[in-house]
Each structure stands twice: as C-alpha cells, then as structure tokens.
Amino acid sequence: MTLYLDNAATTPVRPEVLEAMAPYLARFFGNPSSHHEVGEAAASALDDARRRVAAVLGMRAGDVMFTSGGTESNNAAIKGLVLGSGRRHLVTTAIEHESVLASADYLARLHGVEVTHAAVDATGTLTPEALAAALRDDTALVSIGYANNEVGTIQDAAALADVAHARGVPLHLDAVQAAGWLPLAGLGADAVTVAGHKIAAPKGTGILAVRGRLPFEPLLHGGGQERGRRSGTPDVAGAVAIARALQLAEAERLDEAARLSALRDAFIARVLALVPGARLTGHPTRRLPGTASFVFPGTNGETVLLELERRGIVSSSGSACAAGSDEASHVLTALGFAHDDARTAVRFTLPHALAASLDPVADAVADAVSAIGSRG
C-alpha cells in the first residue's frame, strides 16, 4: 500500500465535507442570485458558509469571498488591493508561491508597480526589521506567506502586521499551507487566502477574505456577485464544502498540531541520524507541524523520490508546480543553498489523521539514499 506524504500538494476530500456539499449539487441547485425559493435555499447556504468562514478567520461575513483556489485568491488579493489603492509599490519576499511572485511580476510589467522582495534569513524567516526596511511611503500592500510551502517555516504574522500597519500599509497573508495548522484569527491581517484542496475540501474551492472597505479592484467583471468583488455565479456546493472543511480543521487544530509536531520531530531526528550529510531545510522549530523537508547533498531529489516510491512512499521535492523539474527551487536558493544542494530537496508533508510512527519511513529514506550512493 502507498503511504501518501505529499499533503501540502493536495489532500483527499473528507467524508463529512462530501456529505455537507452533496445536497447543493442536485437537490438545492438554485442560483443564489435568483429571487425565488429555489434560489433562496442556495443563497442561505452561501450566507451560512460565509458566516462559518468568517468565524474561523476572525472577520465579518461580508469580508469573505469564495474563489476557485489559492492561485485565484492570491492573484485577486495582490492585483485587487494594489490597483485599488492607487499606490505603486508592493512588498513581498523571494520565497513566496509562484501565484504571488507572478502576480507581482504582472503588476510590475503592465502597471509600473515597483516590487521589493524583503530579505528572509537562512531559515526562511522574515524579521519585523527586514519588513520595516522594505516599506516606503507609497507602499500599497505587503503580501507574505504565513507558512512556506516548501520548507514549512512559519512567519510571525501578528508582528509583521504591526510593522505594516505602523506605516499605514495593509497585510495580505497567503495562509494556504497554514490553514488547519495555525490560528487564522487575531493576527491583524487585512486579507487572507485559503485553498480548499489543502484542507480536505475539493479542488477548485478557495477563499479570499478582505477586511472591511479596503479599496479593491476586481479581477472578474460581470454580474456583480460577491459584493462586486468577483462576478460569476458562485459555486454554492464548493462554498459549503470549504466552510465545513475549515470549521472541522479549526476544531481539531490544537490537538492535531501538537500530536503531529511530535511525530514530525521524531521523524526529522531519525532521518538526520541515519542519513549521512542530510540537512533539514527551513526553521528548526518554527515550522508547520506536518512538514519535514531536507536536502540530501550528493543525491538527486527526483531520484530519491523514485527510490522512495519503489518502497511505497509518495512525497515530493517541494512545490507541486515544480514537480518533475530538475530546476533548483527558488525558495532554497533564496535561503542560501547552493544550486547543486537545492536540487536534492525532498519534502514530506503529513496527513492530519496520521497515527503511526514514521520510523519505518525514516528507515526507508536512509535505504533509498544509500541505494543511490552505492549505485553512483
């Protein structure tokens, strides 16, 4: 049987989520904008989903819009808030997801926006001082990943929000990898991205919450749904699904985070003890409970993955977007890893429900790396 340790790439849909959304695909199929009882049933489910999400994010229901996933939410947040502000400077970091980096690049190319990539340290941490140094009087937005998708490093979101606010700049948090593991409320973020498929809701579901009345230029124009911020008939079943998934994850979060952190730490220690030359990437302690990421200098990440798959373990080299490519990860190179070492990255991302010890996985990693070494 295959052990799936690539949960940062995507997760299976939980039965409770499937059960909650199913009635909205066929029985309550109405268009929530329709003024008749069929439409109203859908509209009330959408309202309810919005309230549930808002409660987890510590925002108001009216702040929450439903999107097609993390990529859309990040595009909408960055383009929407920068273009809405009338200012022309954006601050982010070099270790963000491609949807953030490419949105910043688009604004630079087509809208004359200047982009500053604030410096992160070798653990992938953005310090409040480094953020403060990147801010300017004309900064429109700070967009930061709450937890990094490749190395799992967690940012001190509340401290970064304080620094941005002291200069009157709103903070967008890409919480795609943080959702389900870290608190999302009470951080002071002005905009938050969540992707459904990372938290056991279906692919194609997402959330962007934008606080209050921040000026926002929509990406999608049309019928004015989602308070004019995202036109198009909403995916009611998807909204119900992501709301349920987020609520379940929040209810289980503290217990799961503590349990998984212990399993992760034991796994990391065993891999480092058994694999000569192995190095942990990211922050040693301020990291996502479910993420263990390494480089194995002298190997090739893709070859290690193949060897692991032959031993029944599925993982990845880092971002799913870069899977199968031999390119060095932009995250690891920004953290100061040499290109050759960055190409040996392997990331294990654990499922929430994991109960068993990962000792056999660590043993398989050691076996896989030594098999490559003895061949090479």
Ligand X SMILES: Cc1ncc(COP(=O)(O)O)c(C=O)c1O
Residues near ligand X (CB under 6 A)? 69-71, 74, 97, 99, 145, 149, 174, 176-177, 195, 197, 206, 320
Residues 6+ apart with CB under 8 A from 374: none
Chain position carrying tokens 């070099």: 94
Give the position of tokens 């859309």: 72
Q: Which is nearer to ligand X, 123 or 149 (CB)?
A: 149
Nearest-CB residue for ligand X: 70
Dihedrals φ, ψ of 4, to 5°?
-90, 110
Please choose, from the candidates 200, 203, 236, the residue with its C-alpha nearest in 3D space to the C-alpha of residue 27.
236
| 185, 157 contact by CB (below 8 A) | no
Please identify, using beta-carbon distances, which residue of 176 and 313 lies nearer to ligand X. Answer: 176
CB of 205 to ligand X, least distance (A): 8
Q: Based on CB atoms, which residue is closest to ligand X, 74 or 344?
A: 74
Task: Give backbone dihedrals phi and psi of 131, rounded to 5 degrees, phi first.
Answer: -65, -45
Contact 218, 228 (CB under 8 A): yes
**Nearest distance, CB of residue 136 and ligand X, angstroms:** 25
Which one, 104 or 368, has the nearer CB to ligand X? 104
Least distance between ligand X and beta carbon 98 (Å): 8
Q: How far is the CB of 39 from ligand X (least distance, A)?
A: 28
Give the residue with the Cβ less far from ligand X, 105 or 359.
105
Pick the closer one to ligand X by CB: 74 or 153.
Answer: 74
CB of 275 to ligand X, least distance (A): 26
DSSP 329: P
Catalytic residues: 321
Residue 120 near residue 146 (C-beta atoms within 8 A) = no
CA distance 112 to 231: 26
E-only strand ranges, the chain: 3-4, 64-67, 89-93, 114-118, 139-145, 171-174, 191-195, 206-210, 279-280, 291-295, 313-314, 345-349
How near is the Cβ of 20 to ligand X at its closest, in Å? Answer: 20
What's the rounded Cα separation, in Å, for the pair 177 and 154?
A: 10
In angstroms, the CA 57 to CA 228 distance is 21
What's 36's DSSP letter? Answer: S
